[in-house]
Amino acid sequence: MLAWALLELGEQERAEGTLARVIAQLQVCGWRLLEVDALRVLALLELRRGRWHEARAALEKGMDLSNGIPDGYPYAKAKGLYMFGLLHARTEEYDNARATFQAALGICDQLGERMYRPCVERALAALGA
């Protein structure tokens, strides 16, 4: 959460340093649930820097971790799909972005989730979908 807040404040270098320390500690402790969220914030940082390959790698690792958690951690999967949608949109893969946002909305529907859903809906609407 601290790294995300730093990122939102425009403190990319501090956010990056915080993420590196946090992710390393989470890996040592084996706290996969939190690591999935930290990797999503890392992907957001990389997206803002325009580093598509690094953003994709962080998202893929987070999705792999969430899939390995019992019951799959569907809320993290929805957030990861949303981030993948943003990546697709920024790299002008608009059909992939729409499909990925729709998949995230499907998970939100299954969970009855209403707080994160508006973010996904806005991103989808921005594509003209």
Residue 115: which domain range?
A: 2-126
Q: What is the pLDDT of residues 13-67, one digit of tens each?
A: 999 999 999 999 999 999 988 999 999 999 999 999 999 999 999 999 999 998 8
R_g (Cα) of the chain, nearest Å: 14
As a whole number of angstroms, the distance between CA 94 and CA 80 comes to: 17
Number of domains into which the chain is organized: 1
pLDDT classification of 4: cutoffs 50, 70, 90: very high
Token code pair at residue 102: 């729709």
Residue 29 vs residue 68, higher pLDDT:
29
Q: What is the pLDDT of residues 69-115, one digit of tens each?
A: 877 789 889 999 999 999 999 999 999 999 999 999 999 999 999 99
pLDDT at 129: 63
Of 37, 32, 33, 44, the residue nearest 85 (C-alpha): 44
* Entry pTM: 0.89
91 DSSP assignment? T
- Size (the chain), residues: 129
pLDDT at 62: 94
Token code pair at residue 58: 């962080």
pLDDT at 37: 93
CATH of the domain at 53: 1.25.40.10
Which helix or strand (DSSP H or E) is residue 33 part of? Answer: helix 32-49
The contacts of residue 72 (CB under 8 Å, 6+ apart) are: 66
